[in-house]
Structure 1
């Protein structure tokens, strides 16, 4: 008898799932027969993602939510409880990079706090209120999407870098703290991932990468959401059952390449 796909009975919640890496993750888990719930603050992007995924005959739902707001996260988890009764995979992908790069003296406290509230408080709130649902799931896992910015910086990206560094630390803290509830927690730290084709229909762009763009990656190309999704499918499966508290860097080797200026 053929074995059922691993994710066929699983409920997967992907925050920030309407565009970019999140949309790629939603497609990948749905193609593996998981029941995917995507949440996003952008209603239009959510509706667009739903239409795109349903054209592929994939099982998806859209539940709008601002993950930085405690009450909205509570309402989201209550809705999942009412409709599904459990949760097997939580992927904390939602994040913002605003404001654009600014010198330190020009960054407002409000701007700094906004990035931390979405990128760091959001995953904390989602983990907190998803835990009772995960405890009812099968081989429950949390996957945090961080960034190589947690380990290296471009100038003037204070809030984003700080939030992603905090999310790396939150990952191993959750892994140790939730081990008694048998919840595994890991992270993926993407490098340069081209998301232009994975946006809302009216925002899609055709990527163009120069020879220099490609050659700064030892693998010879820029990354794609599929690269992240393939690793996520593994880390959230029972094949990764002995892996927790870890962060997998997926950046085509960029962060280990030394660059000298002659």
Structure 2
């Protein structure tokens, strides 16, 4: 098979859950920095559409990160197409944090949330590690401030994201020094499509409760992810970086 040329900087990144939201924002940012980006998602139609819109340095593959066979095949597809892999961004997740009352939480829903949000990043790290190691690559896992604080009825999501923080530092120790592994924990990020943001804008109160005076954007997250993947972050590994406008440092009394 003829291998396509990597991006302008010669580096290839795989971003999961990249058909929309934060994952799409990360993919777009990396492309602007000269990366060749492989977008993966379970939504083939939308994933193919956004990859086409992003241009020649974007390429889409179908992948359910909870299915080891699909992960193995997807990574092989990336290597077959580009001949290398320099970065892995594990963003794919079941994003709705609310599972309903604990007494009615089904084991199937619990297991599926952990399978996608926690087992998926483990499987990706497992199958990408040999190729990342060859190029001194890096992994960034997208966790959540919900790993540290909770609303009621969010047990499955909170457990999956807390586990991912722990998995991050475990991988950093196991895969170093060749591979760095970090996590980014977003707070409230308005990751809706632009049309929905225009139709239903957030309120002044939504923005004002943040110490920085606004809700986050996908670009806020993407900028940090891009830095963590860069050589400038070469002394940074095993860390969970919070991007939340200061909300987790704010004491709230009612």
TM-score by length of 1: 0.91
- 1:160 equivalent among 157, 160, 166: 157
Corresponding position of 1:40: 41
Aligned partner of 1:127 in structure 2 is: 125
Q: Per-residue deviation at 1:115?
A: 0.3
1:209 matches 2:202: yes
* Paired residue total: 247
Q: Report what 2:231 is aligned to.
A: 238
Deviations 1:14-39 (A, max 9, x none): 00011000000000000111000000
- Residue 116 of structure 1 corresponds to 114
Q: Quote the residue 2:246 is aligned against.
A: 253
CA contact (8 A) 2:14 2:89 kept: yes
1:61 matches 2:59: yes
Separation of aligned partners in 1, 2:69 and 2:229: 27
Gaps of 5+ in 1: 1-5
Query: What whole-Å deviation, never above 9, does each CA across 1:200-239 have from its counterpart, x for those lacking one?
Result: xxx8443411122111100000000000011111111110
User: 1:101: how far off?
Assistant: 3.7
- Check if 1:184 corresponds to 2:184: no
Q: CA deviation at 1:136?
A: 2.0
CA deviations 1:67-99 (Å, max 9, x no partner) are 000000000111112122221000000000357
Cα 1:92/1:14, change in 2 over 3 Å:
same
- CA drift of 1:44 comes to 1.6
Alpha-carbon distance between aligned partners in 2 of 1:164 and 1:25, rounded to the nearest angstrom: 19
Supply the distance in 2 between the matched residues of 1:67 and 1:38 (Cα, whole angstroms): 12
In the TM superposition, residue 140 of structure 1 has moved relative to its aligned partner by 0.5
CA distance in structure 1 between the partners assigned to 2:190 and 2:97 by the alignment? 20
Distance 2:155 2:102 in 1: 8
Structure 1 stretches of 4+ moved >4 Å: none
Unaligned segments of structure 2, at least 5 residues:
1-6
Residue 89 of structure 2 is aligned with which of 79, 88, 91? 91
Q: In 2, are the aligned partners of 1:98 and 1:115 still within 8 Å (CA)?
A: no
Shift of 1:48: 2.2
- With over 3 angstroms needed to count, the CA separation of the structure-2 counterparts of 1:105 and 1:7, relative to structure 1, is farther
> Equivalent residue of 1:194, what SS?
coil
For 1:143, the equivalent position in structure 2 comes to 140
Partner residue, 1:3: none
